[in-house]
Amino acid sequence: MPKSSKGNQKIVATPSSEIKIKINGCWRNFELGRDIRPNMTLSFFLRENLGYTGLKIACDEGGCGACTVIMDGKAVLSCMMLAVEANGHEIITIEGLQKDDPVVEAFAQQCEPGYGTALQCGICTPGFVMSTKALLEENSVPTIDEVKEALSGHICRCGCYAGIAQAVTHASEKIVKEGESS
Amino acid sequence: MNQPYKKRPGSNRKFVGGYQPRIDAWEKARGKVKYIDDLTIKSRFPELLYAKVLRSPHAHARIKKIDVTRAEQLAGVVSVMTYKDEEFASLRPTNAGWTDGVDTVSYDRMMWRKFIDRRVLGDSACWVTDEVGAVVAAETEEIADEAIRLIDVEWDVLPFVLDPMEAMKPGAPQIHPEITLNNILPPDKVGGEDVFMDKGDVDQGFADAEVIVDGTSIHHNATQASLDNWCCVVHWTDEKLTLYSNSYEADQSRMHISEMLGLPLHKVNVISSYVGGQFGRGDTGEQPFFLFTAVLSKKTGHPVKFRHTRRESFHDSRQPSIYYGKVGAGKDGIITSLYFKSIGNTGAYADHSIFALKFAPKEIAEVSFAHIPNVKLESYAVYTNKLPACMMRGVGNSQFNLIFGHVIDLLAEKLDMDPIDLCIKNFGHKWETLPNKSLTQVLKQGAEKIGWKEKRHKPGRGPTRDKVKKRGVGFSVHPAWHAEWQEVRRGRIPVSITLNPDGTVILNAPTVETGTGSNTCNVLGCAEALSFLNITPEDIHWNHVVNTETSLKDCVQTDSSVSYLQSEVLAVAAKEIKKQILERAEPVFNVKSRELNIADGHIFVRKNPDQSLSVKEVLFQDDLVPIVVTTSRVPNAKKTGVPYFANFAEVEVDIDTGKVDVLHLVVINDCGTVMFASGAEAQQVGGQVMGMGEALTEEIIYDEITGVPLNFNFIDYKIPTMADMPEIDPILLEIWKGAGKYGACGVGEGTLTCTPRAIMNAIYNAIGVRINDIPIKPEKIIRAMGKA
């Protein structure tokens, strides 16, 4: 389940009020007040100020998982974090994934009979993809119960959970195979 | 690995009905698809302002005095407008159901024109959070919110009523006295009288019946819960009005704006892109927000954005209703008399109430009860001070199936008969003799998959596991909708195929892509129709943006039927494409086009097939102007009946805690023709989340003392997650066939209509006590078992 990092994180406020965040591989500097208001959520900042609209703000209160991004390797709900809390950390949004990312590919390609597709309207998909990325980074061969545990903080109202579970399995297989051949 | 479905014997389809990814799957999986909120971030509209509307804190109230001075003085506020401003006072009252229909209609032709009960911005509020009195445009949403809080209102607080049974009583508060004095919607032309169907003689039928059962069922209000919150941006300049929206119908929105704001149609441009889920959302009391956003845009000269918060996006739901049902039959199980009466909680505004309560049940009776001599249907839609809403996936059908599946189960038990046999004996449409082939196959194959014969036992008489757990199986069945003949009201459905000289295709079959998969159906249908060109779906580009200035009229995403409606028209367009290719080939082959033919992407002389050139070779010798065929066709009106679908459920009930675990769901749809197998299965599997949620956990809860809705959020309103869902087996059948080339039928809504009743009957089979009020929360089980 994506976790809010609220409460377990130090805010390193430099005297110049400079905020440094590594976003999709590049460190970027922002000025507190000018670029980031203290009350700005990370989700708002990433979408409205930086244009990373892959993450969605659907509930804005940690109830649906659509805003999930990866921070320091963990899936986090960006609507439950302030942008300033990302200071000094690495954030990956769905825009930061490779074009042929095995998780993205598995979500896109799922059509195995009996499970439906892994997405329909697609609005929850980036969140599911990011949580799956974080899960498989940590545990490349999860059991179905582990998959359910990891993804149960997400709502897919189109209800593609069976297709999503298949996609996670296929992504896991591909990652393991690639690991063996490299 | 599950087995693919079995195609109709003899069908020879290359693309239609295939298992493959959606055409937009990569874009969506990569997060590249732009929804309305993505398209309208401020960096794309630097001048953007944000709108907010005043919401009523009372269930029923009128504004006595309003003072916006403090709001206007707040820095960052650009405009505050009230219902007293001429721009609002001059607008005609409307019905919120107007903008939610299969066809584009003008003000005078709106479906529920008898129930014009809503102002775009008025002084009266009919439920807690009703939009009323004032709107604000400000530089940020936070400022707009703050400005709304600074509006001083003196309310005339009126008595209110939440329960439709109370609202019908003499002396109850009158909610729309201009329409009704007893809160019951009066009979209207579309829905008919209170008794809207009366075939044969029901009373005599019951008098003559050997067995009679009756019962009630109550359906509460689940919400659509699309993750894509309602949103629009309107820019109204001197030149024209542009609306970006995530409404699922563009052309109807254009008509709505044109008729309400007095702009000619060519001065209104509606643009829709991908929508993150629809599920019937669309007829809420919230709809006029396009209009007040437009008025604010004109007033300020800026583009203005209005978007719901998640909590506001709860302002739409299925219509709650109470049904009573009675069945009379002979000892042989032949049903002779059927009577259903419903009372619907219309809520604060009428919108599509009558659709759910009369229109849909009438169609069900027509296609399913044709062989039953005595049928009477009666209904009352009642205004209350609750959320006004109605349209949700499976509108009216879900509520009707809840009682229908109930009385069937009751009757079968009393007759000591298998309910499957009972259904096969009785139900079917008038266009064929019983037993109905589709119904029979749907039930037989579903029963086999769930293990009906082995698992079904006398109610409550199965073994007890782990000392407290009881298992049971149940099902419910329903006629599908919609076949082509039921879609005639749409009028002409236009499509356009552009064949480029290199053999690739641009497909203009506009519909707002809400996730249904109809876009992939269109591409597969187009590839199939053009298979003489030897093309694949990858050679076809489907344009996902609907723009009323440049697109054809969009085929509205309702009735689950866009999946095949446009494909039927594409089959016609493809014939014309073929004809025009051959005409262009005349000078190249130097023969008349009738002497030419095309197969596998090659044009050849009929009498001498060796004389052949590829289509590309021929078109490249021409002027390189693409061949464009635009055509339209009204859906085929030939009455063919409809196929059936069913859901089977196996549950385990903990009789100590009342918790229900659904162990297995089988969802089985006769589609006529499967247009896109992976998409249809996604609908089947996906629909169970909504169906199971409605059955067990999903319900909008009110504080009955104040009328305040309490759980407009995803924490307290429980939608099933991946961890909650059981194993689901989707089964697709091709038994029935409609008119047209494909003869398909809608699937999406027919995946969840029976789920709640299937689960309820399974619970009864498990514990031997009936609970007929969904959602079935643990406390209801405990109470029913006499433990609380």
Q: Chain A contact for B209, CB < 8 A?
A: no
Residue with tokens 């996604």: B682
Same domain, B566 and B714: no
Torsion sign across C-alpha atoms B7, B12, B15, B16? negative
Total domains in chain B come to 4
Same domain, A48 and A116: no
Q: Chain A contact for B30, CB < 8 A?
A: yes
Question: What's the predicted TM-score (pTM) here?
Answer: 0.96
Same domain, B259 and B192: no
Out of B26, B515, B730, whose CB is closest to A120? B515
CA-closest candidate to residue A115, choices B32, B722, B518: B722
Q: Which residue has the higher pLDDT, A10 or B425?
A: B425
Same domain, B104 and B245: yes
Q: Measure B548 CA to nearest chain A CA, in Å.
A: 22
Same domain, A90 and A130: no
Of B269, B285, B314, the domain-final residue: B314
Distance of CA B203 to the CA centre of its chain: 35
Domain that holds residue A110: 102-181
Residue with tokens 């309305």: B36
Of A95, A117, A141, the domain-final residue: A95
The confidence band for A11, taking pLDDT boundaries of 50, 70 and 90, is: low
| Residue A172 placed within a domain | yes
Same domain, B48 and B114: yes
Same domain, A63 and A106: no
| Residue B19 placed within a domain | no
H or E element in which residue B403 lies: helix B397-415
Q: Are strands A68-71 and A18-23 parallel, antiparallel or unpaired?
A: unpaired
Same domain, A81 and A119: no
Beta-carbon contacts of B44 under 8 Å, excluding residues fewer than 6 positions away, are: none
| Residue B553 placed within a domain | yes
Structure tokens that stand for B345 in this block? 């909680």
| Residue B288 placed within a domain | yes
With an 8 Å Cβ cutoff, are B515 and A121 in contact? yes
Got the DSSP string for B347-370?
A: ESS-TTHHIIIIIHHHHHHHHHBT
Of B314, B349, B374, the domain-final residue: B314
A6 by DSSP, 3-state: which?
A: coil
Same domain, A84 and A117: no
Contact B247, B321 (CB under 8 A): no
H or E element in which residue B599 lies: strand B596-599
H or E element in which residue A105 lies: helix A102-109
CATH number at residue A66: 3.10.20.30
Q: What is the pLDDT of residues A137-154, one digit of tens each?
A: 999 999 999 999 999 999
Of chain B residues 702-741, which have a CB less than 8 A from chain A?
713-715, 719, 721-725, 728-730
Contact A48, B43 (CB under 8 A): yes
Tell me, what's the pLDDT at B570?
97
Tell me, what's the pLDDT at A12?
54
**Positions of chain B with pLDDT lower than 50, given as ranges:** none
| Residue A3 placed within a domain | no
pLDDT of residue A15 exceeding 80: no
> Across the beta sheet with B211-219, what order do the strands follow?
B195-199, B374-383, B335-347, B321-329, B211-219, B773-774
Same domain, B108 and B236: yes
With an 8 Å Cβ cutoff, are B35 and A123 in contact? yes
How many angstroms separate the CA atoms of A71 and A130, rounded? Answer: 10
Residue with tokens 């809080």: B149
Same domain, B533 and B607: yes
| Residue A4 placed within a domain | no
Tell me, what's the pLDDT at B283?
65
Of A72, A95, A118, the domain-final residue: A95
Q: Within 10 Å of residue B624's Cβ, how many Cβ atoms?
A: 10
Same domain, B309 and B357: no
The confidence band for A4, taking pLDDT boundaries of 50, 70 and 90, is: very low
Same domain, A78 and A110: no
Q: Within 10 Å of residue B106's Cβ, how many Cβ atoms?
A: 11
- Chain B neighbors of A122, CB-CB under 8 A: 24, 27-29, 33, 274, 276, 515
Same domain, A80 and A106: no
The confidence band for A6, taking pLDDT boundaries of 50, 70 and 90, is: very low
pLDDT of residue A77 exceeding 60: yes
How many angstroms separate the CA atoms of B98 and B570, rounded? Answer: 29
Same domain, B44 and B153: yes
CATH number at residue A154: 1.10.150.120
The confidence band for A7, taking pLDDT boundaries of 50, 70 and 90, is: very low
Q: Which residue has the higher pLDDT, A121 or B220?
A: A121
Same domain, A44 and A115: no
- Chain B neighbors of A92, CB-CB under 8 A: none
CATH number at residue B112: 3.90.1170.50
Beta-carbon contacts of B46 under 8 Å, excluding residues fewer than 6 positions away, are: none
Total domains in chain A come to 2
Same domain, B44 and B177: no
Q: Are strands B602-605 and B596-599 parallel, antiparallel or unpaired?
A: antiparallel
Strand extents, DSSP E, B182-257: 195-199, 211-219, 231-236, 241-245
Given its phi and psi angles, is residue B10 left (phi above 0), alpha (psi -120 to 50 degrees) or beta? left
Same domain, B153 and B247: yes
User: H helices of B209-277, where?
Assistant: 250-261
H or E element in which residue B78 lies: strand B77-82
Residue B278's closest chain A neighbor by CA? Answer: A121
Same domain, A106 and A177: yes
With an 8 Å Cβ cutoff, are B682 and A163 in contact? yes
Q: Within 10 Å of residue A146's Cβ, how many Cβ atoms?
A: 14
CATH number at residue B453: 3.30.365.10
Same domain, A26 and A61: yes
Tell me, what's the pLDDT at A2?
45
Percent of chain A with pLDDT strictly greater than 90:
88
Question: Angle at which helices B397-415 and B360-368 pack, to 10 degrees?
Answer: 40
Tell me, what's the pLDDT at B286?
62
Domain that holds residue B359: 159-222+317-417
B214 backbone dihedrals φ, ψ, rounded to 5°: -150, 160
| Residue A6 placed within a domain | no
Of A80, A95, A110, the domain-final residue: A95
Q: Choose from B28, B557, B717 for mutation: most chain A CBs within 10 A.
A: B28
How many angstroms separate the CA atoms of B604 and B614, rounded? Answer: 9
| Residue B582 placed within a domain | yes
Out of B2, B24, B41, whose CB is closest to A48? B41
Tell me, what's the pLDDT at B2?
72
B116 by DSSP, 3-state: which?
A: coil
Amino acid at B725: M
| Residue B13 placed within a domain | no
Same domain, B386 and B472: no
Same domain, A80 and A144: no
Q: How far is CA B145 from CA B73, B99, B253, B548, in A?
A: 14, 27, 27, 32
Same domain, A106 and A91: no
Got the DSSP string for B648-710?
A: EEEEEEETTT--EEEEEEEEEEE-SS-SBHHHHHHHHHHHHHHHHHHHHT----EETTTTEE-
